Amino acid sequence: MQSTLAPPLQLAKIPTYIYAVVFSSLCIVWGLLWDIMWHMSIGRDGLFAPPHLLMYIGAVVAGLFSGFKILQLTFARMNPERAASVRFWGVFYGSLGAMYCVWGALTMLTSAPFDDWWHNTYGLDVQILTPPHTVLLIGMMTVQFGAMIGVLALQNRFSQNLSMNESETDPPAQRLKVMFTISAGLLLSILYTMLAEKMGSWASHHSSSYITMSIAFPFYLLAVGRASSLRYPITITAAAYMLTMLIPSWILPLFPATPRLGPVLNPITHYQPFVFPLLLIAPGFVLDKLLHRFGNGRLNDWLLAALTGTAFVLVITPVQWYFGGFLHTSPNAQNWFFLSSSMSYDTDPTWPYHYKFHPHWLEPLPDFLKGIGIALVCAILSARIGLLWGNWMKRVQR
């Protein structure tokens, strides 16, 4: 896996399988979001429902292209790329990214009949993290991590083996950098979706939401920031995540959808969108600035983790407090753009807390500040793990 073992890379163009696995990652995210909105708007979906098919397409494309790449390196002994591959099971050769994609695709396809059996046995579920969904999400994230690592390995090899006539501003090099942040944004979308039930706008005035954010996001954002060679990688990753989340929620409500499973408490006629995502782009920009100023060895990683973790909490808390309050209570947020008018078919529209905070999600100021203190500690530890992971990713070249 180390860079010293990888042969020089002359990058005339980006391999097709890299485009394929990033496309697969996009299909997987949008298939998942479509599936969530299908459950909100229509109800029970079958094994071959359109959202599932989109996810299967992502799994199959990633598995086939990555599997072909592995077989090509395994049987073409004279292929120069073989020296930069990883041997596994004593027989096969392939990149780390390709191996992750194959295993993730197999896990996703295995989870499909499991999920169908679960629905047939226990009925409709409304939770994201049921056992079959957890297996599916593990497979999705493995494919997406494979796509991200596949792009990253090429970026790292190319950056280290620049010749006198090559530059990191060459089009292939720039595309690799951007593709890495896009693939990172797609994986971030899945991570957010897994935890969305704990960080909705209804919870924006409760410290538990910020503790969850502080555990989940600093390690990932700082790992991406350290591994990428772009100037604002965390900001671009956060922007990619936001667009990935919002585009399906802006488009699908244009299409009709009627509930097929009772009880129907809210007789909708069109798809209901998911949620407006967290504004991670705000702390992302600050983290980029701090990495520019204090990264690259200028500051010990523990001190850098303390600085960036603290900055994450100090930025995301006021930003999401006010923006979450706006989303949850303001009539100006109840439109197609901010998505706050979304309401699933099995939700009682007369419930009094649709557009005001439930007492359970409010806490006294001392309790809130105590929770933010816990979030601060979590963010610092999360940031330190992220910097460590980022150091590993900077060395990946296989």
What tokens appear for 126 in the block? 């409304």
DSSP 264-292: -SS---BPPP--PPP-THHHHHHHHHHHH
pLDDT tens digits along 46-100:
777 899 899 989 888 888 888 888 777 777 766 666 666 677 666 677 777 788 8
**Residue bearing tokens 């397409």:** 57
Number of domains in the chain: 1
Three-state DSSP class for residue 220: helix
CB-CB contact of 135 with 111 (8 Å): yes
Ramachandran quadrant class, 85 (left: phi over 0; alpha: psi -120 to 50; beta: rest) = beta
Residue 257 is which amino acid? A
Judged against a pLDDT cut of 90, whether residue 210 lies above it is answered with yes
**Domain coverage including residue 315:** 3-395
Q: For residue 269, what pLDDT is reported?
A: 93
Q: What is the mean pLDDT of residues 233-261?
A: 95
Instruction: Label residues 358-393 b or e (16+ Cβ within 10 Å = b).
Output: eeebebeeeebeebbeebbebbbbbbbebbebbeeb
- Region 270-294: what's the mean pLDDT? 95
Residue-level pLDDT at 252: 96
State pLDDT tens for residues 290-325.
Answer: 999 998 778 899 999 999 999 999 999 999 999 999
> Contact 143/61 with Cβ under 8 angstroms?
no
pLDDT at 115 exceeding the cut of 90: no
pLDDT at 38: 92
Q: Are 64 and 111 in contact (CB under 8 A)?
A: no
DSSP β-bridge partners for residue 270: 256
Percent of the chain's residues with pLDDT above 90 = 50
